[in-house]
Chain A
Amino acid sequence: MVARTDRSSFAEWWWTIDRSLLAAFVALMVTGLVMSFAASPPVAERIGADQFHFVKRHAAFFLPALLVLFVGSFFTPRLVRRMALVTLIGGIALLAATLFFGQEIKGARRWLTIAGITVQPSEFVKPAFVIVVAWLFAERQRRPEIPGILFAVLLLIAMIGLLVAQPDFGQTMLTVIAWGSIFFVAGVPIFWVMVLGAAGVGGIYAAYTMLPHVTARINKFLAKFNGMEGAKANSTAFQADKALDSFASGGWLGRGPGEGTVKWILPDSHTDFIAAVMGEEFGILACLILASVIAYVVLRGLRHALATDDPFIRFSVTGLVTLFGVQSAINLAVNLHLVPSKGMTLPFISYGGSSLIAVALGMSWLLALTRRRAQTTRIARSIHDEQPLEALA
């Protein structure tokens, strides 16, 4: 389709991009669109909207997201870094604004209405944050005189502060994990990794003791293991139980599109529990394929991180892949009742305009950073490595 000798920018893109990753992303996006037909009508009906209200909205975001995915993947690493810095600064400003002007939905201020469009700034901040942190770590390795780690830690604290204030513990957790993954692959001594791990465990324990809803969720999850059946355990773990029913009712091959029954009583079937709906209508095999595609993206991404010699690319790819992989894994694990319930969307699949565009943006950067480049061989130094720090500002 495109000749190898063609030297246009598209041809160059075509021959350097990781096409299997791109195909996986497009496949996931299409799956998300199909699943919105299955999972969102019950929710739309519940809120009294048109049956295809969420389907239409999802479709409206589909093309822009696809566009973001393709355009972003044309960027050079330097452009990605600049984009990320701009996105991060703008995103943090918007995050701060949500605390004052955000709409309060279900007890949290996460959304901002700008010119009639509701956006969730935290979704956009996440990938940008990962790129900037990766750059700080890489820069620190290149020029130790710059306190990169200090900046990265300060940035992390600022992010945690803004996200906890919303409050949005899911995003906080993801941000910390993505940061930790970069910290980890940056080759920091194992001692500090353990300190960070302990801090993470301490943070979860603090959340467990100090936040009543976290206590309740973890307790009800543990109750299941202690064999505490009966009314109490049942009523509190309602969503998780229904999700399991949903998988069981679907069996290997599913009941068929539109034949799902559990989705009618499952709250958030179009977002947090979309995998359960998929399980019932399209079967466990389809869910296995979905999980495999996600796992493929993660492992393929990490292989790029392994192969590259460029620290910035290794760190940012690891961070982006971790963000994507951990978020997907938590969502699937909650659906399968492997972990206590935590509201988290399934990237590319769940309904949510901000989330779809933001995930596309993050993954477009992943594609851009993993393009085959002459400079990512072991001998040559990468071009952007030679860029002085000032060039970014």
Chain B
Amino acid sequence: MDAFATDFHRGPAAEETSAPTQAPARGKTRRSAAAAGRTRVKVAMLGFVAIYGAIAGKLVYLGLKGPEHSNTLGAAIVQSSPRPDLLDRNGEVLATDIKTSSLFAEPRRILDVDEAIEALSSVLPDMREPSVRHKLKSGAGFVWLKREITPEQRFRIHRLGIPGIGFLDENKRFYPGGGMASHVVGHVNVDNQGIAGIEKYIDDEMNLNELHKLGIVADRGLKARKLSLDLRVQHVVRDEIAAAKERFHAVAAVGIVLDVHTGEVIAMSSLPDYDPNNPAEALEKDRMNRATAGVFEMGSVFKTFNSAMALDSGRVSLNDSFDARGGLAFGGQRISDFHGKNRILSVPEIFIYSSNIGSARMALKVGPQGQYDFFTKIGFHSKIKTELPEVALPLWPKRLSEVSSATQSFGHGISVSPMHTAAATIPLMNGGKMIPPTFFVRSRAEADALAVQVVKPETSEKMKYLFKLNGQIGSGTRADVAGYRVGGKTGTAEKIENGRYASNKRFNSYLAAFPIDDPQYVVLAVLDEPKAEKEIGAATAGLNAAPTVAAIVKRIAPMLNVPPRFDLAPATLASN
């Protein structure tokens, strides 16, 4: 070994000098190298023994552990996970489990195939088919004979007492309303585990999936969950936005109704939706939940929040006026008005004429930081805190600047979900209390415990006035319903296409509250890319989103016990 080592280190020069003595040295080297080689071969043998020993050890371990983890029957039982029913606020069923039994056979345990078939066919005549005989003679471990048999059939087969024949309980989720509230309720996968919407929420909340894996979820322990939705209102909202979507050839539509005192979502629909009984539909293009999981530049409805911000800051009062002439230039960009009045406008006029210039000037008076803080307060810089898992984070400019502050004042350069918009309106209508929206029933007291005062009560009063004014003499007149006093703000935003604003693609909305003298509900209707009707002319929100809100309120106000009143004085423009 040592001799070999020297040999190994010897360079070519050394080799030449040692040439005469090479032959004996070589012999010595070979012998010692051979001895070292033998030892090393033994080491290699030991190494292989260890490696194959480990392999054999693992095989024996797997053999001793047994097949408990791969029991196919076990997997089938896991599938049958029961779930709590979902009800609307009045106890109507939104989602329920249907219990079914499925008949299986373990052919290896069947003693007499002919006898078994004879007995089975006394209950299920189609068991006489040759395919059944073939299955039972196959000698397989497990075969399904018939899925989803009736309880009576199950009882009768059970009474026959055929060895090797058994039942598995299976639960199948069923949504009686189909797509009625699909984006709220969500859906389950084949194992009856919630994978979307409130179905997913209750799984996560109750840790149902873990319990199912352990196999300890019993039907009895599951209490039905009551959602805040009112199925009747939900039906009206979906019906009306579907009608509007069709009438104005919109690509999508959203309708939301919130209770301003509790934050409960009374109705929420996003079209196109899908049938949760056929969950694969949910993956189709365009069927996403736009109400909470989509963010959009909402456009002029943001003047609601801009006005509230300005009024609440104390730097702007309802009697202030702003110059809305010409345009407002920022470097190369220019802000101009859609319905240009080209004069000095008061704050209420800016609101009802939807002046971009006036709104921008109001925002500048508060300053970018003030606007940023206000938007944070009303939730535009975070995901909505609610139960639904499908919530999107808004998009807003990461750098404060006057120009972005000016565009955000009229709802451009910031994208929020329709639900953000509706939820932020709650404090403006209820005296200033921000309440996170919920999809479960919530009492007034619970809501008050959660509420955060975000604007002064006076600001809320002023905002009601602005909504009322716009609903009676502004762009929202078509949303008004006799006796139900609907006030609100229109928004006609241009959509961004290929990085530019496209003047022919609009995102229209009407953000409303009723009855506006004492608001109970916020209603938001959104139409994505509505087209103009020939006889009316333009595709503005006042002409399509506003009448959609009117149609909704007309039908839901009586259901929600809002009494009509005809004795109230109409709103007047303060500066007139």
Contacts and interface: CB of A to CB of B under 8 A. Distances in A.
Contact of B63 (A149, A245, A251, A329): A251
Given A185-B40, A309-B34, A311-B30, A284 B52 contact: no
A251 B29 contact: no
A248 B34 contact: no
Given A311-B37, A336-B55, A248 B66 contact: yes
Interface residues of B, number: 47
B40 A144 contact: no
Contact of B33 (A141, A251, A288): A141
Interface string B31-43: 0111111101111
A288 B10 CA distance: 48
Contacts of A143: 26
Interface string A374-389: 0000000000000000
Interface in B36-68: 36-38, 40-45, 48-49, 51-52, 54-56, 58-60, 62-63, 65-68
A261 to B, nearest CB: 7
Contacts of B72: 261
Interface in A68-111: none
Contact of B15 (A145, A192, A338): A145
Interface string A313-348: 010001000100100010011001010000000000
A314 B41 contact: yes
A306 interface: yes
A288 B56 contact: yes
B69 interface: yes
A248 B45 contact: no
Contacts of A306: 38, 41-42, 45
B449 interface: no
A329 B55 contact: yes
Contacts of A292: 52, 56
Contacts of A187: 1, 4, 32-37, 40
B86 to A, nearest CB: 25
A244 B62 contact: yes
B331 interface: no
Interface string B1-31: 1001101101010010001001000100110
Given A318-B41, A338-B55, A144 B7 contact: yes
A314 B67 contact: no
Given A255-B141, A318-B44, A249 B38 contact: no
B333 interface: no
Interface stretch (A121-129, A162-170, A293-301, A351-359): A293-301
B191 to A, nearest CB: 13
A324 to B, nearest CB: 10
A299 B12 contact: no
Nearest to A286: B59
A288 B59 contact: yes
A189 interface: yes
B503 interface: no
A249 B70 contact: yes
**Interface of chain B: mostly helix, strand, loop or mixed:** helix
A297 to B, nearest CB: 10
Given A145-B15, A187-B36, A302-B48, A248 B67 contact: yes
A299 B48 contact: yes
A147 interface: yes
B41 A284 contact: no
A141 B29 contact: yes
A181 to B, nearest CB: 6
A186 B5 CA distance: 11
A52 interface: no
A279 B32 CA distance: 46
Nearest to A333: B55
A287 B57 CA distance: 12
A185 B37 contact: yes
Given A284-B59, A288-B60, A295 B66 contact: no
A298 B41 contact: no
Contacts of A246: 70
A252 interface: yes
Nearest to B58: A336
Given A244-B62, A329-B48, 7 more contacts: A184-B40, A186-B37, A187-B33, A187-B34, A248-B67, A287-B59, A318-B41
30 contacts: A142-B26, A143-B26, A145-B15, A147-B12, A184-B44, A185-B37, A185-B41, A185-B44, A187-B34, A189-B4, A189-B5, A247-B63, A248-B62, A248-B65, A284-B59, A284-B60, A288-B56, A288-B59, A291-B52, A291-B59, A292-B56, A295-B49, A299-B49, A309-B34, A314-B41, A318-B44, A329-B52, A332-B55, A333-B54, A338-B55
Interface of A: 141-145, 147, 149, 181, 184-189, 192, 244-252, 255, 259, 261-262, 279, 284-285, 287-288, 291-292, 294-295, 298-299, 302-303, 305-306, 309, 311, 314, 318, 322, 325, 329, 332-333, 336, 338
Shortest 4 CB-CB contacts between residues of A and residues of B: A187-B36, A295-B52, A249-B70, A187-B33
